[in-house]
Structure 1
Amino acid sequence: MCSLTTQSIARPVTARPGVALALILTCQLMLMLDATVMNVALPRIRADLGFSPAGLSWVMNAYTLVFGGLLLLGGRLGDLFGRRRVFLVGVGVFTAASLAGGLADSAWLLIAARIVQGLGAAAAGPSTIALLTSTFTEPRARVRALSLFSAMASSGFAVGLILGGLLTEWLTWRSVMFINVPFGAVVLAFGARHIAEPARHPARLDVTGAVLATLGVGSLVFGFIRAAEAGWGDGFAVWSVVAGVLLLVAFVWRQAFGEHPMLPLRLFADRNRAAGYANFFLGPLSMMSAFFFLTQFLQEISGYGALTTGFAFLPMAVGIFALSRLVPRLLPRLGPKPLAVTGTLLMSAGLWWLAGLSAGSGYVPDVLGPMVLMGVGGGLAFSPLNVVIMSTVPPADAGAAGGALQTMQQIGSTLGLAVLVTVAGSAARGHTGTDALVTGMTAAFTTSALIALLTFVVALTFRRE
């Protein structure tokens, strides 16, 4: 599946923007789903493949670590070697790894498949946004396309939980991996025919910058994953984070003074674009608690099964997607600031509401109400950000800009989960059973709400135009 030949990628193209949009959105949904679709299936994976409790977390973290660590490199490779080519190769690798993961008969084989999935996602992900901006050049069409893309990116986490619940309950956990195969095959079959290859921009690959960025992001993500498992008293976790920070400082210095920067710092010179990047980091950082801790609350406190737990997240996904359809009409009239300010306030309110959960809380209104607020708020707050970031990026930097955007999102998600799990564990000390779970959970939601308020502060810096 992943052995795409140069001839197949370079075949004559009949550019069809509508088909190209559908294929790109399908790819983006696949990549985002895999960040959460395995959550509901984890207990059955553990029983079937004999994972240890600590090892089980790597079913999720192996994908996130590789995906987040290599996104910047994937974006630059698309700029240099052809975005459609790198996109299709990435989809092929991701699809083949999904098939291998579904067939895995041991824990280490599944982890290996998840690592390769991350490699494919890091190659395909940055090119999705760049291909959208090159396919849709008319401003209104570009806004609509980027808003739909943002909806896929934002709602994919919630949709992953719904789909994971359905597949795990009705079939087996292996179907959670196999579901990617037909979608990936469709993208490969039609993408080579109907997605046009943008013009390349000759330059040299900044190998030193690529190594610094990959090792820096990878070390930082690994350090926080390790801290979530072992606590901040673990020296390996602390030194991994320190090493990651130092490597990223060196990477920024390289980008500022290198001849061929992998991430041109001029991308952050525009105030709106810089604010968009900041909120693409802070938003997932605050929202990850909703997915992670609510899944536990619904299954361990409320007694929901996998299928019911998945559908419980439907209001959030519907809210994000519905608002993303409205954003293309509102954004040209109002600008990003009113939408982002309103959305971040609603999202913060939803998280504050969740901080009041107790063992006796029911789904209505104690869970449903916050989900609606976060769905509507997330749709308003984050759907405009893709447009803000990508609409004025020079064509030569489109892949780098897309890679930076998705890197912010992935690191924010991973860092948020690590921080919030640590907060929950500290708050739960001295408590037992259900009381420990609820105490830790509400502390994590309170912290999430405070982080969400930072997204509101950043939203205030947007210019109105």
Structure 2
Amino acid sequence: MTDTAAVSGRSRNLVLAAMIFAVAMTFIDQTIVSIAVPQIQDELNLSNTGVQWAVNAYLLSLAALFAFGGRLADTVGHRKVVVAGVVLFAAASAMCGLTPKGSAAQTWIVVFRVLQGAGGAIMFPAALGIVVQTFALRERGKALALFFGIAGGLTAVGPILGGYLTEWTWRAIFWVNIPVAVIALVLIAVSKPVTEHRPARMDYRGLALIAGGVTLSVFGFQQSQIWGWHNPGIGLCIAAGVLLLTAFAFVELRTASPLIQMRIFRDRAFLAENLILGISMLVFVPVFFFFSEYAQIALGKSAQEAGLYLLYFFLGFVVASQIGGRMLDQGGAKRPVFLGCVLAAVGFYLLAGKVTGLSLSDQIWYVVLAGAGMGMMLTPASTDAVNRASRLSYGEATGITQTVRNYAASLGLAILGTISVSEFRSRLKSSLLDRGVPAGQASAQATDISQSHSQSGGSGGIPAYVRLDFAYSTRTVFYVMAGIMAAAAIVAHFGLRRGVQTELVEPEPAPEDDPAGKPAERG
């Protein structure tokens, strides 16, 4: 049976549209919350730690549960899981918007952000699995370029829309997901996507290990800028997380029906592409946060104007994503992935050299170039990795790639945040000393200002030297991002081979070989 046969003559474009709307919410929420961070913190009186968790809890939940979502889709049915994920995501979004003021606010919003992430984690692999099974191999690059490109375009709308909605109330940035969810559910009901899945046991032991490992390791890096690296709790959290993830890998190799088939990493291209995705995602999601903070603090822009700054990045991303998808279909993944990594590295490097000039007009083309590089490489790398799986394991393969991507994004936000705060604090202390502030007082003030402005922006009342010092700390972050993308380019050059991938034909196991004793099903 071919992949296209699975749609039984239904409109593939309608199926694609349904899945785009389903995942659009997850893309929008990666950026829209960063725009409203200052308003959320002020109205709910959140601590710096609390507001950072309001941003990162979502990414952390995604990273911890993506593998579970992919496996669930392959064993329960992709359409069922997409619908469940959309409903959970929309309900959690509504509750985030209803966060009460007072002592319960911080716990409330973090808990429902975690549930948002859980909804996205089970929805996304299933949605991508449906798209992959709906389109033949030679058409997937173009289809998934549209999938990621349009979703990325909707992500670009997120910061702009968030800026306008925040002028009314920050709560609306969560409520906007509800109409998107309704459209997705209607399109799913109309298109009725049909895919294949195979019932199997769920590996809850593996789920506990990977969720614990991801959570502890990211928590350690994130808390380092608050507790300080001298605190033994930081090292213990990171070490415990790494140990749990290592245990997860060994347990999965010895589990009959594992959460992740570790043997898939024997495929050189799949391993290389996941390394590339992991390295590049240290940059891709955190860049939204840093763009927003830089625009509001260093440039003194409003939330709306900060959204427009991000739009330049996505203009490059969306256009280049289409080019990368077509290059994948025509000549394989190596050329667009390598070229995209190089363009992104050059873009961030050139951008870093301009941010201290505090002139948006001098930065626009470098922002576009960085976005174009990310768009050109992300779609081909993700698509080619998923294509390495059989049609009964697309959800699992997607779960693996998305686990890698979101775990790296969480780590990137934590690590780059630590670099930003440390550099900002150091420059602030020097600026205060130059202004005659005593050393002890300068150190204390620098710590207070860096913690405050690293989490919230706004132009009102920010001294010129603070804006410039923040720009210098952003410059350091962008130079690090350039180095990270250069490393991804090296992995792409040596890890990927030229040529178009051939269709994977995998014989279906006999029912008695199936862990659950059941053959593949359609639905």
Query: After superposition, what is the alpha-carbon deviation per residue over 1:375-411, rounded to whole angstroms, capped at 9, x for unaligned?
Result: 2111211121122112231122211111111111111
C-alpha change, 1:430 and 1:325, in structure 2 (3 Å) is: closer
Letter in 1 for 2:404: M
Aligned to 1:142: 140
Q: CA deviation at 1:15?
A: 3.9
The answer to whether the Cα contact below 8 Å between 1:150 and 1:386 also exists between their aligned partners in 2 is no
Letter in 2 for 1:56: V
Aligned pairs for 1:250-329 (under 5 A) are 250-329=247-326
Distance 2:170 2:208 in 1: 35
Aligned to 2:85: 90
Query: After superposition, what is the alpha-carbon deviation per residue over 1:148-189, rounded to whole angstroms, capped at 9, x for unaligned?
Result: 2332565665443233223223x3211101110011112223
Mean CA deviation greater in 275-284 or 47-56: 47-56
Query: After superposition, what is the alpha-carbon deviation per residue over 1:70-122, rounded to whole angstroms, capped at 9, x for unaligned?
Result: 11111111111112111111110101111122122232332232122112111
C-alpha change, 1:354 and 1:229, in structure 2 (3 Å) is: farther
Mean CA deviation greater in 228-237 or 452-461: 228-237
Letter in 2 for 1:48: E
C-alpha change, 1:35 and 1:233, in structure 2 (3 Å) is: farther
Distance 2:74 2:121 in 1: 14
Question: TM-score, normalized by length of structure 2?
Answer: 0.81
Aligned to 2:64: 69
Choose from 481, 491, 507 the match for 1:448. Answer: 481
Distance 1:103 1:372 in 2: 36
Distance 1:405 1:85 in 2: 21
Distance 2:422 2:47 in 1: 23
Distance 1:46 1:459 in 2: 40
Choose from 404, 407, 411 the match for 1:408. Answer: 404
C-alpha change, 1:434 and 1:312, in structure 2 (3 Å) is: closer
Aligned to 1:397: 393
Q: Which runs of 4+ in 1 moved over 4 A?
A: 152-159
Aligned to 1:166: 164
Aligned pairs for 1:5-84 (under 5 A) are 15-84=10-79
The answer to whether the Cα contact below 8 Å between 1:154 and 1:382 also exists between their aligned partners in 2 is no
Aligned to 1:221: 218
Alignment partner of 2:32: what SS? coil
Distance 2:227 2:146 in 1: 39
Q: Is residue 2:435 matched to residue 1:436?
A: no
The answer to whether the Cα contact below 8 Å between 1:88 and 1:188 also exists between their aligned partners in 2 is yes
Letter in 2 for 1:165: G
Query: After superposition, what is the alpha-carbon deviation per residue over 1:276-316, rounded to whole angstroms, capped at 9, x for unaligned?
Result: 11111111203345322232222122211111110112121
Mean CA deviation greater in 181-190 or 223-232: 223-232
The answer to whether the Cα contact below 8 Å between 1:224 and 1:414 also exists between their aligned partners in 2 is no
Q: CA deviation at 1:190?
A: 3.0
Q: Is residue 2:375 matched to residue 1:379?
A: yes
Distance 2:325 2:113 in 1: 35
Query: After superposition, what is the alpha-carbon deviation per residue over 1:339-374, rounded to whole angstroms, capped at 9, x for unaligned?
Result: 122111110011111322454331122x21221111
Q: Is residue 2:330 matched to residue 1:333?
A: yes
The answer to whether the Cα contact below 8 Å between 1:267 and 1:273 also exists between their aligned partners in 2 is yes
Alignment partner of 1:233: what SS? coil
Mean CA deviation greater in 57-66 or 225-234: 225-234
Choose from 356, 364, 371 the match for 2:353. Answer: 356
Greater Rg, structure 1 or structure 2?
A: 2
Distance 1:443 1:359 in 2: 10
RMSD of aligned alpha carbons:
2.0
Aligned to 1:6: none
Mean CA deviation greater in 322-331 or 387-396: 322-331
Structure 2 gaps, min length 5: 1-7, 429-465, 500-523
Aligned to 2:113: 114
Distance 1:245 1:156 in 2: 35
Aligned to 1:245: 242
Letter in 2 for 1:178: W
Distance 2:155 2:275 in 1: 20
Mean CA deviation greater in 452-461 or 56-65: 56-65
Mean CA deviation greater in 323-332 or 42-51: 323-332
The answer to whether the Cα contact below 8 Å between 1:154 and 1:378 also exists between their aligned partners in 2 is no
Letter in 2 for 1:167: L
Question: TM-score, normalized by length of structure 1?
Answer: 0.91
Q: Is residue 2:496 matched to residue 1:462?
A: yes
Mean CA deviation greater in 188-197 or 442-451: 188-197
Distance 2:185 2:351 in 1: 42
Distance 1:90 1:332 in 2: 30
Letter in 1 for 2:108: L
Letter in 1 for 2:217: L
C-alpha change, 1:283 and 1:167, in structure 2 (3 Å) is: same
The count of corresponding residues between Structure 1 and Structure 2 is: 450
Letter in 2 for 1:141: E
Structure 1 gaps, min length 5: 1-12
Query: After superposition, what is the alpha-carbon deviation per residue over 1:223-266, rounded to whole angstroms, capped at 9, x for unaligned?
Result: 22222443323333322211111011111111222211211123
| Percent identity (aligned) | 32
Q: Is residue 2:129 matched to residue 1:133?
A: no
C-alpha change, 1:61 and 1:343, in structure 2 (3 Å) is: same
Mean CA deviation greater in 74-83 or 226-235: 226-235
Letter in 2 for 1:62: A
Distance 1:427 1:266 in 2: 42
Letter in 2 for 1:314: L
